[in-house]
Chains A and B, each alone.
Chain A
Amino acid sequence: MTHVATHFELFNLPLSVDLDVKALDDLHRKLSLETHPDRLTGADARERRIAAEKSASLNEAVKVLRDPVRRAFYVLELKGVKLDTEHAAAALKMPMEFLEEIMERREALDGARQARELSRAQSMAKEIAALKSASLSTAQTALRADDVPTASIALGKVRYYSRFLEEVEAFEEELAAS
């Protein structure tokens, strides 16, 4: 089986949760100038298809690497734990008290949503965002030390928190659209 380049390898960067986003953007621009299909409009269909694929990989990679949360999940994945499906996430043994707590919070959010109380939902979102960034930083520290079990649990929490925040955003969109 051929080795598929990791997102880090595509940019010739070391595998790490720490990364200079500005430098990444510059590099992405530079590489795009070489691989974007628009640069090869005179070339044959096969070359252009390859260019489009390369370009797509670069764009996918930069999207993952630019964002500290996605980047942490990706580093964890490269270390062998993939949290990309509900199933995989559920297989993690999340602490019971965490699950109970998040369940309570989601019920409270549902309540706010039904009552169409945006400000209540937003203040909950603020608390969750703080918890999320704390968990992310726990995960990053653990990943730097190669402590995969701790990182998995911390990112498992981040996943739940992200879901929660997405729900608040969906609520905001819903209100804006009506």
Chain B
Amino acid sequence: MKGFLQIHDPLKPKGHVVGIDLGTTNSLVAAVINGKAECLAADEGDARLLPSVVHYSANGSVIVGKRASELLPQFPTDTIKSVKRFMGKSLGDVETRKLGAYKFLEGKQGVVRFEVAGGQPVTPIEVSGEILRQLKRRGESHFAGKVEQAVITVPAYFDDAQRQATKDAGRLAGLDVLRLLNEPTAAALAYGLDKGVQGLYAVYDLGGGTFDISILELIDGVFQVKSVGGDSALGGDDFDRAIAQKVLDARGIKEPSAQQIATLLQLARAAKERLTDAPQTELVFEGAPFPITRADFDSWIAPLLNKTGVSAKRALKDAGVSVEDVKGVVLVGGSTRVPAVRSYVAQIFDREPLSDIDPDQVVALGAAIQADLLTNEERKDEVLLLDVIPLSLGLETMGGIAEKLIGRNSTIPIAQAQIFTTFQDGQTGMDIHVVQGERELVQDNRSLARFKLSGIPPMAAGMGRVQVTFRVDADGILQVSAKEESTGIEQQITVKPTHGLTDEEMEQMLLDSIDHAEDDMQKRLLAEQRVEAERLLMDGAKQLKENGDLLSTDERREFEAQLTRLSTLAKTETNHEALKAVITDVDGKARPFVEKILDRAIGKAAVGQQIEDF
């Protein structure tokens, strides 16, 4: 009955709503179905996690997810992973260049652009947009209907530029972003509504690339965030890097190649995952094993964990509570599977953490619940979220000092105004420099935007009074206006330019994405086949080189002709089904050759075994 009603509900003219966890390593989409939040599985299998990896092929196609991550070792600069760590960042940010073997478009200030195969350089917003589009498609194939509205989660510790970038990525993917929801808040919502908790809770969220800690109080249908803290550049990726670095050190590799880094990071990640259950493991890099015990690993990551402890203590202090007041600690994020992380959390909070909802899914489930609460008329009185801004917002004043207008952990939405006076006789303009962060000096904080209020009538120093107003909306996004009191001259901006895209750039991208949307599906299927063809071509060439002696001259000529045919069609054929047929055909013709290669390989392995046996 309810499903039928929903179809005719006039308040739901916009299709289905979903919650999206846009993660550093994996992303998920969830929805409330028959009153229960569920993560949606991919149509091609039962995998719920979509690896947040995007591959750009030479032929201009874009591949997202597991298939893209398989292409990563081979195409390290054309395959973008952990793009979340680049959101809202510029090339000037210290961390940016350390994150992977990417080629950046140099010489352009502002937003990061990756040089990838097959077309124009892409921004992190576009890369994230591809991931979101894939999840939107997943939702649409699940519902067999349109998905146009979503709640997207962000780390609580994301600053204004990072939030703007995420919202823009949503728009690019054709989603109306109902709300940017802080990840720990989403997790608390999933626990709160599912498990019926009340009281003061801490959420410890360690993902692939971000760490968040939130202190929340759940009373009488209001989820109030008391404080948040964290580090937007700390996560499980850093654990992988710690392992990879040890291997490089041990092997004396000073300047690893892009491919070496990419391969090693994947091996490190797999080793880390094995150490969750096993006390020791080894990774095999370039043919040689490297043993790792859990104790080694624990000691390598201990400094990273201590950083999370400092943030947790600060968050408790900001909330005005002590460890004893906390009724429970919720674990979120794949990296909380690491045993050392669990025991560290247990130690700092003096209690065993809760993890009965899958830490990979809990954020997406919370986002789906919030999406439902925001759109489902029947549920909107159930619960209200009161969130906070993570970092103080302020202005540059004389001497490069940052003057805070809205302190961190202020409940949003919020507005705050302050009067600044002119400091020179006859001053007719005032530079407004908006910054975010806790440090005293402007240079140590994040610069968000600059603008100038001009047209102040000349008067004596201290007589001109400019009222600057900061407004932060429920998504945590800032708008600033400045007004000279005697003339009423006013200027207003949504904070954006420094590390974001200009409105024109955004508009162009939106136009492009609409153009693409229609033939998107066709393109994706074709792209998949082209990648398949490329793989077959590459394998074929490799086998010819290594095992070509197994073929007679005629057989060899025939096989090469097949590969040439495929190579041409892979470039020219625009019908994905036709291309697929050719691939199947070529693959079938290669079968006798493959069998010979396999025989030889088995022969070799058998020899190897005998040697070992003696």
Q: Shortest distance in angstroms between B224's beta carbon and chain A's nearest beta carbon? A: 7
CB distance from A80 to the nearest CB of B (A): 16
Tell whether B134 is near chain A: CB-to-CB under 8 Å.
Answer: no
**If the complex has contacts A29-B219, A59-B413, are A85 and B380 also in contact, measured as CB distance less than 8 A?**
no
* Among B52-60, B350-358, B414-422, B569-577, the stretch in contact with A: B414-422
Interface residues of B in 418-473 (CB under 8 A from A): 418-421, 438-440, 462, 471, 473
Whether B421 contacts A39 by the Cβ 8 Å rule is no
Which of A38, A42, A166 touches B11 (beta carbons < 8 Å)? A42
Q: What chain B residues lie within 8 Å of A32 (beta carbons)?
A: 222, 384, 386
Docked complex: A55-71 residues within 8 A CB-CB of B: 55-57, 59-60, 62-63
Give the chain B neighbours of A84 by CB distance below 8 A: 418-419
Q: Does A36 contact B384, Cβ atoms closer than 8 Å?
A: yes
In the complex, the answer to whether B219 meets A56 with C-beta atoms within 8 Å is no
Among candidates B179, B377, B420, residue contacting A85 with C-beta atoms closer than 8 Å: B420
Given contacts A36-B384, A39-B380, contact A60 B416 (CB under 8 A): yes
Q: Is A176 an interface residue (CB 8 A)?
A: yes
Interface residues on B, range: 35 or more
Chain A: interface secondary structure?
Answer: helix
Query: Would you call A174 and B439 a contact (CB within 8 A)?
Result: yes
Q: What's the minimum C-beta distance from B354 to chain A, rounded to whole angstroms?
A: 24
Distance of A37 Cα from B407 Cα, bound (Å): 22
Mark interface residues in A37-56 (1 if CB within 8 Å of B CB, else 0): 11101100000000011011
Check if B221 is an interface residue, CB within 8 A of chain A: yes
Identify the closest chain A residue to B416 (Cβ). Answer: A60
B342 smallest CB distance to A (angstroms):
24
Q: Mark B372-415, 1 if CB is under 8 A from A, else 0.
A: 01110100110011100000000000000000000100111111
Contacts A29-B219, A37-B474: A59 and B438 contacting too (C-beta < 8 A)? no
User: Considering only CB atoms, which chain A residue lies closest to B376 in the complex?
Assistant: A41
Counting CB contacts under 8 A, is A33 at the interface? yes
- Within the complex, what minimum Cβ distance (angstroms) separates A43 from chain B? 11
Q: Do the beta carbons of A59 and B412 come within 8 Å of each other?
A: yes
Q: Is the CB of A63 within 8 A of B411?
A: yes
Distance A33 CA – B383 CA, assembled complex (angstroms) = 9
A173 at interface, CB cutoff 8 A: yes
Cross-interface CB contact of B413 among A39, A52, A85, A170, cutoff 8 Å:
A52
**A67-87 residues at the B interface, CB under 8 angstroms:** 84-85, 87
Q: Which residues of A contact B411 (CB under 8 A)?
A: 59, 62-63
Pair A38/B373 contact, Cβ less than 8 Å: yes
Answer whether residue A167 sits at the interface, using C-beta atoms and an 8 A cutoff.
yes
| CB-contact partner of A37 in B222, B381, B413, B462, under 8 A | B413
| B612 beta carbon closer than 8 Å to chain A | no
Complex: A56 Cα to B386 Cα, angstroms = 11
Inter-subunit contact A33/B384 (CB<8 Å): yes
Question: B310 an interface residue at 8 Å Cβ cutoff?
Answer: yes
Bound Cα distance from A42 to B415, whole angstroms: 24
Using CB atoms, name the residue of chain A closest to B473. A52
Contact B440 A167 (CB under 8 A): yes
Which residues of chain A come closer than 8 Å to B462, judged between CB atoms?
Answer: 87
**How far in angstroms is the closest Cβ of chain A from B201?**
16
Please state if B374 and A176 are interface contacts (CB–CB under 8 Å): no
Distance of B473 from chain A, by nearest CB (Å) = 7
Q: Is B220 an interface residue (CB 8 A)?
A: yes
CB distance A60 to B419 under 8 Å? Answer: no
Q: How far is the CA of A75 from the CA of B593 in the complex (A)?
A: 89
The minimal Cβ–Cβ distance linking A163 to chain B, given in whole angstroms, is 10
Known A-B contacts A29-B222, A85-B421; the reply to A57 vs B415 at CB < 8 A is yes
- Give Cα A57–Cα B310 distance, bound, in whole angstroms: 33
**Interface contact B440-A56, CB-CB below 8 Å:** no
Q: Select A56's contact among B11, B310, B377, B413, beta carbons within 8 Å.
A: B413
Given A33-B384, A60-B415, A85-B421, 18 extra CB contacts under 8 A: A29-B220, A33-B221, A38-B474, A39-B384, A42-B11, A56-B414, A56-B471, A57-B415, A59-B411, A59-B412, A62-B411, A63-B407, A85-B418, A87-B462, A170-B438, A173-B439, A176-B310, A177-B439
The 10 closest A-B CB pairs, nearest first, are A170-B440, A56-B415, A59-B411, A56-B413, A59-B414, A29-B222, A41-B374, A56-B414, A52-B413, A55-B413
| 30 A-B pairs (CB sep. < 8 Å) | A29-B219, A29-B222, A29-B224, A32-B384, A33-B221, A33-B222, A33-B384, A36-B386, A36-B474, A38-B179, A38-B384, A39-B380, A39-B381, A41-B375, A42-B11, A42-B380, A52-B413, A55-B413, A56-B413, A56-B415, A56-B471, A57-B415, A59-B412, A60-B414, A60-B415, A84-B419, A87-B421, A170-B440, A176-B310, A177-B439
